[in-house]
């Protein structure tokens, strides 16, 4: 029998072998501007706090020569530690261990890590870098995907889940990141797709590069699967840390409140001149956001996708708040199918994790036309209505300029569930714009007039003065208050103060009829 000393030495030897990386492989990795799984873990967690789980797990397959193949930690490093002093669970795929392929034990480790995070109430971060399914394990690999998927789904809405695309993530593997709350993609090294270029060419005859098919432009710009683009792995990990700092650890807590020297009553005089005199002239909503949030710091999500709307997080008097806004610089801030999806999922995430939402509205309406209609603008647009009406967190609407038609509800109004609606004097709140309304109501009169253009201008002016303003809405109690733009930050902070315990003694909320969840249009 081995002595105690020999057993301890053997243990140290095994750990070293599992964790070590061949010098040539490490050099190649660094030349490609990538780190190893363990280097990523080391950088991400506070120094000395990471505890690995499942280091000695390995595969049990003997077919196709795997009985002679060692795959350290089965190609995935899992464990927990602290990030900026708060507990986080992580799983980092190891491309240097049989290309980080997903096999039975790999999948079990991933599923266990997510389950562990859910049970502890800690955020989960996945670092994706894998060659895909380990085909040598056949059905065992296939079934393991299901275990991991189910674990992620059952943890959804319980703990924040963040995926980082640091290498390839193709095939069934790609469902893991998109099923999480946020996807952060490394610009030059992260790739995600339901199939790689070779498979696409074999099956469909389509020739396309990996970059075009699965790169950041494919998903951060076109598909909307990627929420944040990072310049490299270090930047990706730093952005993940910044995002985690804005979020609660789980759905039973609130996000941490940070001390700030930015006066909650601070005025923003620059906002008094930001709205152009011409109602169709654009302005940059980013300037409004950065003027009102603490220290001008705004963490934007999905910045490259559906750019007519803006989503992201800022702080008000140290509190994390979600912001959903129109961007008049892009298609007048109209709500398209993609914009509706982007906004609805963001609002629902905030509601799941106790984050108040402020809507900054300046929207001419939902996008019309055959293309949007046939693709389902009604179905997709309704997602925003579901999101607002279902929300239990404080929701505040600031109407800056246009609030027309369905967008009046899509950008949050009193009737769909706003706790408070505040308008600027520049707000134009009505069923449709004056020009559209006049062309319908007075169509015959304009057509038969001696001077049709003069009559049209007169009727547009009449309708606008009668309805297209904030005062009629305030008169009908659809707007709680009209404020000067410079008071916006002050007003938001005051409203958040009184909404801090929104549902504590809310009898209407407590009387809601029991249901599993809304049958939201998907």
The C-alpha angle 243, 351, 163, rounded to 5 degrees, equals: 35
Q: pLDDT band at 511, cuts 50/70/90?
A: low
Look at residues 207, 186, 190, 189 and name the one whose alpha carbon lies nearest to residue 198: 207
Q: Is 242 helix (H, G, I), strand (E, B) or coil?
A: helix
pLDDT at position 349 is 98
Q: How far apart are alpha carbons 390 and 378 in whole angstroms?
A: 18
Q: What is the pLDDT of residues 402-431, one digit of tens each?
A: 999 899 999 999 999 999 999 999 999 987
Residue 314 catalytic? no
Percent of the chain whose pLDDT exceeds 70: 99
For residue 344, give both structure tokens.
Answer: 């609805």
pLDDT at position 87 is 98
Q: What is the pLDDT of residues 185-219, one digit of tens each?
A: 999 999 999 988 988 999 999 999 999 999 999 99
Under DSSP, the state recorded for 309 is E
Q: What is the mean pLDDT of residues 291-300?
A: 98
pLDDT at 505 over 80: no
What backbone phi and psi angles, to 5 degrees, belong to 50? -80, 130
Q: What is the pLDDT of residues 104-139, one digit of tens each?
A: 999 999 999 999 999 999 999 999 999 888 888 888
How many Cβ atoms are within 10 Å of 270's Cβ, its own excluded? 12
Beta-sheet pairing, 51-53 with 76-83: antiparallel
Ranges assigned E (strand) in 409-468:
420-423, 428-430
More confident residue, 306 or 475: 306
Rg (CA), the chain: 27
pLDDT at 60 over 80: yes
Which residue of the set 117, 255, 407, 473 is catalytic?
A: 407
Q: How far apart are alpha carbons 483 and 448 in whole angstroms?
A: 42
Contact criterion met (CB below 8 Å) for 433 and 427:
no
Mean per-residue pLDDT of the chain: 93
Which residue of the set 54, 75, 126, 172 is catalytic?
A: 172
Q: What is the pLDDT of residues 314-333, one digit of tens each?
A: 999 999 999 999 999 999 99
Look at residues 439, 421, 443, 436 and name the one whose alpha carbon lies nearest to residue 468: 436
CATH for 269-431+469-510 (1.20.1250.30, 3.30.420.40, 3.20.20.150, 3.90.226.10): 3.90.226.10
Q: pLDDT band at 516, cuts 50/70/90?
A: confident
Look at residues 172, 177, 171, 128 and name the one whose alpha carbon lies nearest to residue 146: 172
**Most confident of the ranges 26-30, 392-396, 510-514:** 392-396
Q: What is the pLDDT of residues 435-481, one digit of tens each?
A: 777 777 877 877 877 887 887 878 778 777 777 888 998 998 999 99
pLDDT at position 416 is 96
Please count the residues of the chain. 522
Contact criterion met (CB below 8 Å) for 355 and 255:
yes
Which residue of the set 103, 126, 171, 365 is catalytic?
A: 171
**Most confident of the ranges 75-84, 100-109, 133-142:** 75-84
Q: pLDDT band at 345, cuts 50/70/90?
A: very high
Residue ranges covered by each domain of the chain: 10-246, 269-431+469-510, 434-467
pLDDT at position 508 is 63
Residue 172 catalytic? yes
Q: Is 174 helix (H, G, I), strand (E, B) or coil?
A: helix
Q: What is the mean pLDDT of residues 44-71?
A: 91
Q: What is the mean pLDDT of residues 176-183?
A: 96
pLDDT at position 69 is 87
pLDDT at 507 over 80: no
Dihedral sign for Cα atoms in the order 292, 332, 520, 194: negative
Q: For residue 27, what are the β-bridge partners?
A: none
pLDDT at position 518 is 86
Under DSSP, the state recorded for 366 is B
pLDDT at position 509 is 65
DSSP-H helix ranges across 35-138: 37-44, 104-120
For residue 493, give both structure tokens.
Answer: 């902070």
pLDDT at position 463 is 78
pLDDT at position 109 is 96
pTM: predicted TM-score of the whole model, two decimal places: 0.94
Cα–Cα distances (Å) from 121 to 18, 114, 160, 179, 245, in that order, read 29, 10, 9, 18, 15
pLDDT at 369 over 80: yes
Residue 190 catalytic? no
How many Cβ atoms are within 10 Å of 43's Cβ, its own excluded? 14
Residue 407 catalytic? yes
Q: What is the largest CA-CA distance in the chain?
A: 111
Q: Is 271 helix (H, G, I), strand (E, B) or coil?
A: helix
Q: Which residue is listed with tokens 């795997």?
A: 66
pLDDT at 48 over 80: yes
Q: How far apart are alpha carbons 390 and 268 in whole angstroms?
A: 32
CATH 2.60.40.10 fits 10-246, yes or no: no
Which residue of the set 406, 410, 433, 474 is catalytic?
A: 406
């Amino acid at each position: 029998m081995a002595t105690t000393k020999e057993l301890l030495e053997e243990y140290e030897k095994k750990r070293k072998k599992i964790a070590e990386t061949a010098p040539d492989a490490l050099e190649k990795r660094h030349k490609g501007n990538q780190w190893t799984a363990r280097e990523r873990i080391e950088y991400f967690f506070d120094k000395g706090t990471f505890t690995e789980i499942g280091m000695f797990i390995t595969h049990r397959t003997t077919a196709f020569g795997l009985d002679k193949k060692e795959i350290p930690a089965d190609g995935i490093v899992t464990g927990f530690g602290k990030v900026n002093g708060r507990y986080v669970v992580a799983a980092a795929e190891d491309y240097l261990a049989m290309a980080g392929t997903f096999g039975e034990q790999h999948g079990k480790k991933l599923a266990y890590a997510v389950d562990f995070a859910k049970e502890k109430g800690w955020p989960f971060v996945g670092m994706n870098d894998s060659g895909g399914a380990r085909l040598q394990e056949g059905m065992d690999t296939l079934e393991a995907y299901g275990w991991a998927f189910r674990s992620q789904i059952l943890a959804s809405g319980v703990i924040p889940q963040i995926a980082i695309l640091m290498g390839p993530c193709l095939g069934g593997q790609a469902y893991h990141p998109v099923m999480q709350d946020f996807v952060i993609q490394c610009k030059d090294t992260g790739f995600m797709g339901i199939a790689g270029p070779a498979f696409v060419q074999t099956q469909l005859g389509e020739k396309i590069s990996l970059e075009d098919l699965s790169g950041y432009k494919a998903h951060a710009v076109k598909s909307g699967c990627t929420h944040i683009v990072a310049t490299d792995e270090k930047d990706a990990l730093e952005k993940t840390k910044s995002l985690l700092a804005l979020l609660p650890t789980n759905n039973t807590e609130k996000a941490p409140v940070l001390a700030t020297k930015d006066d909650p009553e601070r005025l923003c005089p620059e906002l008094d001149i930001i709205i152009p005199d011409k109602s169709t002239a654009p302005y940059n909503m980013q300037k409004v956001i950065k003027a009102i949030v603490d220290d001008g710091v705004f963490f934007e999500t999905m910045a490259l996708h559906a750019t007519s709307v803006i989503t992201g997080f800022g702080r008000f008097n140290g509190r994390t708040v979600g912001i959903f806004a129109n961007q008049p610089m892009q298609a007048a801030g109209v709500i398209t199918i993609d914009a509706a999806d982007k906004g609805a999922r963001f609002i629902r995430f905030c509601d799941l994790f106790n984050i108040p939402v402020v809507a900054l509205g300046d929207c001419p309406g939902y996008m019309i036309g055959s293309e949007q209609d046939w693709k389902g603008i009604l179905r997709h647009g309704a997602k925003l209505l579901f999101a607002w009406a279902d929300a239990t967190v404080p929701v505040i609407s600031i109407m800056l300029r246009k609030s027309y038609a369905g967008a009046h509800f899509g950008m949050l109004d009193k009737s769909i569930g706003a706790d408070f609606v505040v308008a600027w004097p520049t707000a134009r709140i009505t069923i449709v714009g004056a020009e559209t309304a006049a062309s319908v109501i007075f169509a015959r009169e304009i057509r038969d007039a001696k001077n049709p253009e003069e009559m049209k201008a007169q009727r547009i002016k009449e309708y606008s003065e009668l309805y297209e303003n904030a005062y009629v809405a305030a008169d009908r109690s659809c707007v709680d208050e009209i404020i000067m733009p410079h008071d916006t930050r002050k007003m938001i902070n005051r409203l958040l103060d009184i909404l801090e315990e929104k549902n504590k003694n809310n009898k209407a909320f407590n009387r809601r009829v029991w249901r599993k969840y809304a049958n939201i249009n998907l």
